Amino acid sequence: MAKEKSAKVTTSGAPKYFPDQFDNEEVLYVFRKHPIVMRKGLVFGSLGLLVGPLYTLILTYVHPNNPPTLTFFYLSFVASISIAGLLFFPSWMSWYYSVFIVSDQRFIQITQKGFFHRSVVDMGLSQIQMVNYEISGLQETLLGFGTIMMQTFVGDLIIHYLHHPQHIQKKMLEILREEGVQVSDAPAPQR
């Protein structure tokens, strides 16, 4: 899922897509996790939609002689939509602002968790030895997500819930080969 973003121009005239981008660095590929990572927020948001109508229903049974008006029902439903949005927003924000960037010099993983926690993993392309992917299970197969495993000189980097991992792996291997990095797309033999 490559995405073009509007870029700011640096003093050297090159477009700048993210704040930590070097002046002579070119962004080659940007991707995100699968939207399935927002499922918890979607469930809570859906439950939030029920608050207003259930409150109106309870008032109808508690006060059968004086039921709530239709206007009250609509206002409580609008309040429910607001509650659902507030419950869903943190999940959406974590998904939207968590991105993976492949430039001509490095691989950057930016992970946003909630409002106040951001984690950045920055590794040079020359540190990547192998890029593999795995799609396991019915849910991952039907919904088209999986896991990318990158073997590096400093350890393994495993990224779960990626949308179409086979396309991401292929694109990353193409970029690594174009940049002159020797990678293997099969496990190294054990000695």
Give, in order, the Cα–Cα distances in Å from 170 to each of 21, 156, 157: 24, 18, 17
**Out of 11-25, 27-41, 161-175, which region has the weakest mean confidence (pLDDT)?**
11-25
**DSSP β-ladder status, 99-103 and 106-113:** antiparallel
Of 2-6, 82-86, 110-114, 151-155, the least confident: 2-6
Residue 187 has pLDDT above 90, yes or no: no
Total-model pTM: 0.77
Q: In the numeric block, which tokens belong to residue 111?
A: 């992970």
Select the CATH number that applies to the domain covering 8-33+98-178 from these four: 3.40.50.970, 3.90.550.10, 2.30.29.30, 1.10.1200.10: 2.30.29.30
Bridge partners, residue 11, by sequence: none
pLDDT, mean over the chain:
86
pLDDT digits (tens, 9 = 90+) for 40-62: 999 999 999 999 999 999 999 99
Q: Where does the pLDDT of residue 186 fall: very low under 50, low under 70, confident under 90, or very high at 90 and above?
A: low
What would the pLDDT profile of 52-108 be if each residue is shown by its tens digit? 999 999 999 998 888 888 899 999 999 999 999 999 999 999 999 999 999 989 999
Domain boundaries, the chain: 8-33+98-178, 40-92
